[in-house]
Amino acid sequence: MSGHDERTFVMVKPDGVQRGLIGEIVSRFEARGLKLVGGKFMQIDENLAHDHYGEHEDKPFFDGLVEFITSGPVFAMVWEGADATRQVRAMVGETDPAESAPGTIRGDFGLDLGHNVIHASDHEDEGANEREIDLFFDEDELVDYGLDAAAWVYEDE
Ligand code: IDP
Ligand code: MG
């Protein structure tokens, strides 16, 4: 295996959980050929919300964002694959669902900027994927294993 092991952090937000979209979203990443290496159904507390969204601390929407992300359970995941962070962001769409192309997750399942269904590490923010994985998962919660389908997803696996 070479270059197929980039990991990225993804989370179905409280609106996505309440709307029954966990399965649909997991299916898309599975079907793409990505490998699930961690998953956790959990409630985010105030501290974790502040750590996770710290970069937005000074924005006018910060308090509402913290309130929203702590308002109900989320499904946090780590997905692995070639160029995973950038590829997942492309599948997620733009920050605003209204600006997201049909076929993307936000473009298919959202209409409102404040309720955009899913979080994924930003590929333009160097190291965000590893930072966010560390924030949400302990090392022993991530599973190393061989995915048989990888031999068919990648020509050089
Ligand atoms: P991203 O989720 O696409 O990376 P960011 O700019 O990092 O977008 O913003 C983090 C989250 O904050 C967004 O997913 C969205 O839930 C929320 N958010 C961003 N901008 C606004 C806004 O202008 N109003 C309300 N919520 C916003
Ligand atoms: Mg972001």
CB-facing half-sphere around the CA of 136: CA atoms within 13 A? 29
Over range 100-106, report the average pLDDT: 98
> What's the whole-model pTM score?
0.98
Residue 113, in any domain of the structure: yes
Per-residue confidence at 102, pLDDT binned at 50, 70, 90?
Answer: very high
Residue 157, in any domain of the structure: no
Per-residue confidence at 70, pLDDT binned at 50, 70, 90?
Answer: very high
Residue 151, in any domain of the structure: no
Residue pLDDT, tens place only, 15-57: 999 999 999 999 999 999 999 999 999 999 999 999 999 999 9
73 C-alpha vs ligand 1 centroid, how far in Å? 18
Residue 12, in any domain of the structure: yes
> Which CATH number covers residue 133?
3.30.70.141
As a whole-number percent, the residues of the chain with pLDDT over 90 amount to: 98
Reduced 3-state DSSP string for 72-94: CCEEEEEEEECCHHHHHHHHHCC
Q: Which domain holds residue 82?
A: 5-144
Binding residues for ATP: 13, 61, 89, 95, 106, 116
Closest CA to ligand 1's atom 26: 114
Residue 61 Cβ inside 6 Å of ligand 1? The answer reads yes
Compute how many other C-beta atoms are within 10 angstroms of the C-beta atom of residue 146: 10
Residue 49 Cβ inside 6 Å of ligand 1? The answer reads no
Residue 51, in any domain of the structure: yes
CA–CA distances in Å: residue 6 to residues 100, 111, 123, 125, 133: 25, 30, 11, 15, 12
Closest CA to ligand 1's atom 8: 95
Residue 122 Cβ inside 6 Å of ligand 1? The answer reads yes
User: What is the number of domains present in the chain?
Assistant: 1
